Structure formats: C-alpha cells, structure tokens
Amino acid sequence: MAPSAQPRVVISGSGLWTPENVVTNEELVASYNAWAARYNQTHAEAITAGEMDAKPEGSEAFIEKAAGIKQRYVYVKEGILDIDRMRPIIPERPEEALSDQAEIAIQAARQAMSAAGKTGADIDAVIVSCAYTQRAYPAIAIEVQAVLGIDGFGFDMLVACSAATFGLHRAYEMVAAGTAHCVLAINPELMTPQVNYCDRDSHFIFGDVATAAIVERADTCTGRHSFDILGVQAQTRFSSNVRSNFGHLSRANDVDPFGPDKLFHQNGRRVFKEVCPLAIRHMADHIDRHGLSVPDIKRWWLHQANIRMNQMICTKLIGREATFDEAPIVLDRYANTASAGSLIAFHLYHADLQPGDHGVICSFGAGYSVGSLVVRKR
C-alpha cells in the first residue's frame, strides 16, 4: 500500500492573556533612581575610594530610545517598585493548588480553543514552551492538560526567545507525522521574577503575558481565521551574550541562587550586532525555499525585543522602513515578553488579511536561536 500524503497543517486559532497590572517607564525609573541614590549614599566611601562603582541614574528617555518600550504588563506589581525589595511579591501556592504559570497558560489556551472551535476532547497534545518554567516537574503542560480535560500527552520545552516558534514547529511536525491530530501550544511568559530591577541597563526590558495557538489538520479546521503552515525553519548558534544561570546546581555550587548572574543579563550591543544579520538571512532563505520573495509577504510578525532591531531587520529585508501594517509593533505597550512577542503581534494583527495573503512569524534572540513559520491565510 502506498503511504498516505502528508496532511496539510494549519494554525486555526490563537489566544492572548494580558495582565491587569501596568508598570510605566516613569514609575520604573523613579523606583530605580531612588534605590540607586540610596545605594550610592550607603557605599559613598567605597565609591570615592574606587573600590565600588556608583550606580548610574536611569531615565525614561533612555528606555524609549534604547528599546522603544513605554510600559509593560506585569503579573504582580506589588514589590517591583519597592526599593526595599525590587522584585514582585508572588506568594508560594500549596502543591495541591493550580500553579501561577498554569493559571495564565489556561487563560490564553481557552481563547485559542474558542477561536478554533475546539474542546479538550478535540486536542491530543499540549506543549508549553517559554523562557522559564516555575518548576522542573511535573510539567506545566501536563497540569494544563488535566485542567482542560485533554487526553493524550503534554510536555514543556525551553528555548528562551524562540520558545514560541519552536513550540509551533513541534506541533506542526507532530500533526504532519500523524502522532497528533490537534495540538495546543502555549507560551506562559512569566518573566518579571527573573528581572534584575537593580540593573539600569535591563530593569525595563521585560513584561509578563501568555499566548497560545491551536495547530491541527486542515480537514478538521473550523476556525474563522486560519492559516496554512507552508513550512518551518529553525537555527541555533551558541552564545553567552544573552544568559541566565538560574538552575538547580546552585545548591551544590554553594553560591547565591539569586545572584545577579542567575538573573537575566546580556551584552546588548553584541546581541544587536550578531542577531540581526542572522535573522535577516534566516527569513530571506526561508521564504525563498517556498518560491516567495519579499514583496509576496503581506505581514511580518516579528520578535518584539527592541524597536531598533526590528527596524534594522525590516530595512534590510524590505529595502526601506516597514509600515505598521507590514510589521506590527507591540513592544511599546507589552515590552519584551521573551518568546511571546511575535505571537502577540500575530494574535492582534491577523484577522484583516485576505485569503492567499502570506505572512512570516519569526523569533530571534537568546541561544542564539532563530525560528520562523511561513503561513498563508486560508
């Protein structure tokens, strides 16, 4: 018997959970500057003696110019602006309670399921892919699976900035291979607990959010706005220029498990210089593989880390600065949400596309990693 043809695979629905709490640049800078002033006063003698470095002052203008960020949504605001704490207050929940990350994942998941017209009985796999999970095991995905009444299996995966696209890649491959017929891919990016709010160069970067998407066979799709996945492409290249060393070995290393190097830190200039060319070549090559050229792409749903990165990438790809319609920006209000940024842009700005319009979903960053999907509106 001849093998059956590979089924067409589609994104049939998406979801977005946005926290109720907002932290503005003005609030963040005022808090950081008050903390820095006290730090410098406390360590004045050592700073004068050259034994310690003074903490520089932050500014709203610096943040907006450097990143294009004006505010961020946060899961918990309490504690972030407290100069005696400088981190959110998130009480630990008992083991029998729903975890924080599963809670926000489910919010986005239910929206995606509704958009795709699916119930838990229709889904046979759950992927939770994000920059951090709040525990090692059991998987957040399996917790979500249980709450939503989904049979089958679930697993977590961590790919930092490209976790969302890589998760969609795995969903696509499972449906194409027939190991699953309908996959729920979720990105609960709970980033603020890993932010160093005492670091002027990074305290403004991240916000919290959760995104989700349904990936399934085309012949079962009933979603109003669905997209054929024409192909996926991924690339990784090791770099320590974006790094977080938080991990279980800290206990055996006899080091501070919450020290500055265990939180998010980066060499921003090196990342900009090295990641942009990687992303440009990646996307140009990917669309070429499908017989498409840049003018054929109606919309670029790009990673949302830094406005200057997106502007440079679009200018090199398109040959000019992209319009908002061509490459929507959401980081001004959401900030960097790790892997979820391109999916936020996709969720908010896809319904207006017409059948036959092509688009590219692309992430790039820590790893280094680049992941993309070429899609076509059905």
Domain residue ranges of the chain, discontinuous segments joined by +: 227-377
Q: What does the pLDDT look like over 179-194, one tens digit per residue?
A: 999 999 999 999 999 9
Which tens digits make up the pLDDT trace of 127-172? 999 999 999 999 999 999 999 999 999 999 999 999 999 999 999 9
User: Does residue 3 register a pLDDT over 50?
Assistant: no
| Catalytic residue status for 161 | yes
CB atoms within 10 A of CB 57: 13
Q: Is residue 72 a contact partner of residue 21, using CB atoms and an 8 Å limit?
A: no
Residue 65, both tokens: 């110019």
What is residue 7's predicted lDDT score, i.e. its pLDDT?
87
Residues ≥6 apart with Cβ < 8 Å to 139: 128, 133, 154, 155, 156
Confidence of residue 1 (pLDDT cuts 50, 70, 90): very low
- Does the domain formed by 227-377 have CATH 3.40.47.10? yes
Q: Give the residue-averaged pLDDT of 300-312.
A: 96
Residues 6+ apart with CB under 8 A from 75: 19, 21, 88, 90, 100, 104, 190, 192, 208
**The pLDDT of residue 129:** 98
Q: Tell me, rounded to whole angstroms, the distance of Cα 99 from its chain centroid.
A: 19
pLDDT higher than threshold 50 for residue 200: yes
Give the pLDDT score at 108: 98
Share of residues in the chain with pLDDT > 90 (%)? 98
The band of 5, judged by pLDDT with boundaries at 50, 70 and 90, is low
Cα 186 to chain centroid, rounded: 10
| CB 56, CB 202: distance < 8 Å | no
pLDDT of residue 6: 79
Give the other-Cβ count within 10 Å of 84's Cβ. Answer: 7
- Which of helix, strand or coil describes residue 78? coil
Q: Which of 130, 161, 276, 314 is catalytic?
A: 161
Q: How does pLDDT run across 117-127, given as a tens digit for each residue?
A: 999 999 999 99
pLDDT category of residue 26 using cuts at 50, 70 and 90: very high
Token pair listed for 90 = 């998130």
Report whether pLDDT(206) > 80.
yes
Q: How confident is the model at residue 43 (pLDDT cuts 50, 70, 90)?
A: very high
pLDDT digits (tens, 9 = 90+) for 251-288: 999 999 999 999 999 999 999 999 999 999 999 999 99
The whole-chain average pLDDT of the chain stands at: 96
Per-residue confidence band for 375, with pLDDT thresholds at 50, 70 and 90: very high
Cα-Cα-Cα-Cα torsion 342, 300, 179, 152, nearest 10 degrees, comes to 30
Omega cis (within 30) before 73: no
| Strand blocks (E) in 9-68 | 9-17, 21-24
CB of 305 closer than 8 Å to CB of 163: no
pTM of this prediction? 0.96
